[in-house]
Amino acid sequence: MKQNIAPAEGKLGILIPGLGAVGTTMIAGVIAVNKGLSQPVGALTQMGNIRLGKRTENRYPLIKDFVPLANLTDIVFGGWDVYADNVFEAAMNAKVLEPMLLHAVKPELEAIKPMKAVFDREYIKNLDGTHIKEGSSKWDLAQQVMNDIEQFKKDNGCSRVVIVWCGSTEKYIETSAVHETLAAFEAGLKNNDPAIAPSMIYAYAALKLGVPYANGAPNLTVDIPALEALAKEPKHLLQVRTSKQVRL
């Protein structure tokens, strides 16, 4: 199957469920690189090369110059979190990066404030968030997430958006009847089925809008027939996933 990949033009919005240690470190790192304070060490797309043709041809362009990827300066960050701390405060609490570096990008980090998160303590028992969405059903919460995505894209002038889950790993669950078909899943959203995890609500909202969803944790999330079917609908984009959920 042939697929035409459009050039990476305009702003790319990266929305992150879970602005904790992983998410804030990524954001701070990109901003530091853009300000000339750091190098993108460890970023394959930014520093890695790809070989073209035979080895004797000596053609090794940078991946970022060969693949149509967004420039780091064209990225706009946002996200959701169960705590109201802005990204600077969250990064300081995470204690991953040196305070000196964080203070060098403090204004940019302080400007990124989380939207209220979809949260269910049954899935992550070590958290007790206070910055939480309220709704009459999981269906209502999914609609709120979709509104968040569309509003963020509009407010920031983004030509496209992706969602990258950087939240905590949810409890282990297995596929059940509510996950088998899209109709069953949507009925489950409306009926508050306990087998629909918060990460599934984010994934459903993204897929309904044609937004790519990357699963950065071993949650079941998109590895269910219902969301796989939704992702394969012609109007939607191919989803990026981690390997199948594993028992931790």
pLDDT of residue 51 exceeding 80, the answer is yes
Q: Would you state the structure tokens that stand for residue 109, as one six-digit string? A: 């980090």
Beta strands in 46-181 (DSSP E): 75-81, 115-116, 158-165
Domain spans, the chain: 11-41+68-231
Asked if the model's pLDDT at residue 240 lies above 50, the reply is no
211 touches 152 (CB < 8 A): no
Query: pLDDT at residue 200 above 90?
Result: yes
- 20 closest CA partner among 75, 97, 108: 97
End-to-end alpha carbon distance in the chain: 37
What CATH topology corresponds to 11-41+68-231?
Rossmann fold (3.40.50)
Arithmetic mean of pLDDT over the chain:
92
Task: Provide the pLDDT confidence category of residue 2 given band limits of 50, 70 and 90.
Answer: low
- pTM (two decimals): 0.90
The per-residue pLDDT for range 95-145, each reduced to its tens digit, is 999 999 999 999 999 999 999 999 999 999 999 889 999 999 999 999 999
Instruction: Find the range with the poorest average confidence among 67-71, 90-94, 119-123, 222-226.
Output: 67-71
- Does the pLDDT at position 23 exceed 50? yes
The length of the chain, given as a count of residues: 248
Which of the four pLDDT bands, split at 50, 70 and 90, describes residue 42?
confident
Confidence of residue 8 (pLDDT cuts 50, 70, 90): confident
β-sheet with 213-215: strand ranges across: 115-116, 75-81, 11-17, 158-165, 213-215
Location of structure tokens 């890695």: 48
Among 26-40, 93-107, 226-240, the range scoring the smallest mean pLDDT is 226-240
